[in-house]
Amino acid sequence: MSIDFEIPPEAKAVRERVRQWVKDECIPAESRIKDKESYKEVLGELRAKARAQGLWLPFVPKEYGGMGLGPLANALVQMELGQSHLGALSMNSQGPDDATILTLLAHGTDYQKEKFLKPLLNGEKRVCYSMTEKASGADATGMRTSAVKDGNENYVLNGEKWFSSAASAADLALVMARTDPDAPRHQQFSTFIVELPNPGYRIKRDIPTMAVHGPLAEVMGGGHAEIEIKDLVVPAENLLGGEGRGFDMGQHRLAYGRLRHGMHNIAMAQRALDMATARVTDRETFGRKLSDRQAVQFMLAECATQLYISRLMLLHIAYKAEKGMDMRQENSIAKVYLAHMVHHVVDTAIQLHGALGYSLDTPLASWYTHIRSQRLVDGPDEVHRWTVGRNVIKAFQKEGTTAMAAGGDLL
């Protein structure tokens, strides 16, 4: 029996619609943005047009106003949106909002869906996720922010958060804190919905990073905030999913975030490769087109190979998600591989552009400094490789072979 790699016609159709949307609307709109006012105007126009065309919230069920796409079709869409920094924003599919929307859909109360989810779905508000702390880094179970119940009506939170992405642009925050230090390790934490601004949730600064900074970094969600949480009072009705569920919900939303990063990395890498190919076919040095040089052809071939592998990885993971199969091992493998892939492809594109690639006259240089973070966010390389390696060893000890353990069961 053969393995079917055919993409359903309806998924192909929506991919083509989104591909044209990004090409015809999002990429041209990038040059129109000069400041915060023009950004607000341009994004507003894009979003109105996207909604009118039914291109809104691709991963959200239709009854909540989304496109109702399954994992496979959504993966195809996200692999197009990442070609422009306005792509996901135009369809209200940007991170970290997307993962929080999924969390609220799955775990929110009726009250929470009405008050907090609805404005997120309508694109009226933004949300950030405050989990990471200096003291614990990638170990979420090491966080020290506490949440103490004050009677039956409120919780009082105290602690600090670090690298809360998009906090400066957010109207809401999901804050993870320890509610029961005596519970089993993964049941000590809970998640709270916090309305911003709030004096108990103080943004100390947006942390300077190696990424290219500009006046729009904060409003477009590129900032990473350091936050002081001091005597932050949160109503008990803002507890999301119940006490002790914070860690499990956090891992679930991070799993989607890793895949979304990977999907957008593929789109960015494809655009970088297209730009590099256009450059070498147009440029001459020493009397010959760059595209005629074997070394250049080899560089393009390596990028194309890595993109081919990357697409197969994500499509296989999407297939397993469609079937409700365990995909944790593949998710960790893909998270690491795709972060390195996009870094390599963009670096190659810069090299083939020469000094122009090093300048800010193309988006390549700003992409390069931004994507270095992909090997750190949502779990650094080392944590995911540790996870994958442990699973290989466990499978060998259990089954006596690692034939399938390196990548999980393929089907």
Residue 64's nearest CA partner among 97, 18, 13, 104 is 104
**pLDDT tens, residue by residue, 38-61:** 999 999 999 999 999 999 999 999
What is the signed CA dihedral for 326, 330, 332, 334, rounded to 10 degrees?
A: -140
Distance CA 251, CA 104 (A): 14
**pLDDT tens, residue by residue, 309-322:** 999 999 999 888 88
Contact residues for 306 (Cβ-Cβ < 8 A; gap 6+): 269, 341, 344, 345
Query: What pLDDT was estimated at residue 293?
Result: 96
Query: What pLDDT was estimated at residue 35?
Result: 84
Q: Give yes or no for residue 155 having a pLDDT over 90.
A: yes
Distance CA 271, CA 399 (A): 43
Average pLDDT over residues 79-97: 94
Query: What pLDDT was estimated at residue 258?
Result: 80
Distance CA 370, CA 210 (A): 8
Half-sphere exposure for 326 (CA within 13 Å, toward CB): 7
The dihedral region occupied by 242, where left means phi > 0, alpha psi between -120 and 50, and beta the remainder, is left
Q: Give yes or no for residue 15 having a pLDDT over 70.
A: yes
Contact residues for 223 (Cβ-Cβ < 8 A; gap 6+): 165, 166, 167, 168, 169, 206, 207, 217
Over the chain, what is the mean pLDDT? 91
**Which of 203-207, 292-296, 303-307 is predicted with the least confidence, judged by mean pLDDT?**
203-207
Query: What pLDDT was estimated at residue 402?
Result: 58
pTM of the model: 0.90
**Which of 31-35, 192-196, 290-294 is predicted with the least confidence, judged by mean pLDDT?**
31-35
What does the angle CA 339 – CA 344 – CA 347 come to, to the nearest 5 degrees? 125
272-308 b/e with 16+ CB inside 10 Å = b?
A: bbebbbebbeeeeeeeeebbeeeebeebbeebeebbe
Please report how the helices 328-353 and 381-399 are oriented relative to each other, as an axis angle in degrees rounded to 10: 140
Q: Give yes or no for residue 340 having a pLDDT over 60.
A: yes
Residue 176's nearest CA partner among 194, 191, 161 is 191
Query: What pLDDT was estimated at residue 401?
Result: 61
Q: Give yes or no for residue 138 having a pLDDT over 60.
A: yes
Q: Give yes or no for residue 404 having a pLDDT over 80.
A: no
Distance CA 209, CA 220 (A): 16
Q: Give yes or no for residue 221 having a pLDDT over 70.
A: no
Amino acid at 181: P
| CA distance to 25, 29, 31, 82, 208, per residue, from 35 (Å) | 19, 13, 11, 22, 20
Query: Which residue would you say has higher pLDDT here, 239 or 211?
Result: 239
Q: Decide: 144 and 114 in contact? Cβ < 8 Å.
A: no
Q: Decide: 159 and 227 in contact? Cβ < 8 Å.
A: no
Strand 154-165 with 146-150, pairing: antiparallel
Query: Which residue would you say has higher pLDDT here, 163 or 215?
Result: 163
| Residue 132 CB burial class (10 angstroms; 0-12, 13-18, ≥19) | buried
Residue with tokens 């619609």: 17
**pLDDT tens, residue by residue, 162-191:** 999 889 999 999 999 999 999 999 999 999
Distance CA 5, CA 8 (A): 9
Q: Give yes or no for residue 357 having a pLDDT over 60.
A: yes
Query: What pLDDT was estimated at residue 379?
Result: 82
Q: Give yes or no for residue 217 having a pLDDT over 80.
A: no
**pLDDT tens, residue by residue, 245-300:** 998 888 877 778 888 889 999 999 999 999 999 999 999 989 999 999 999 999 99
ω into 197 cis (within 30 of 0): yes
Distance CA 2, CA 5 (A): 9
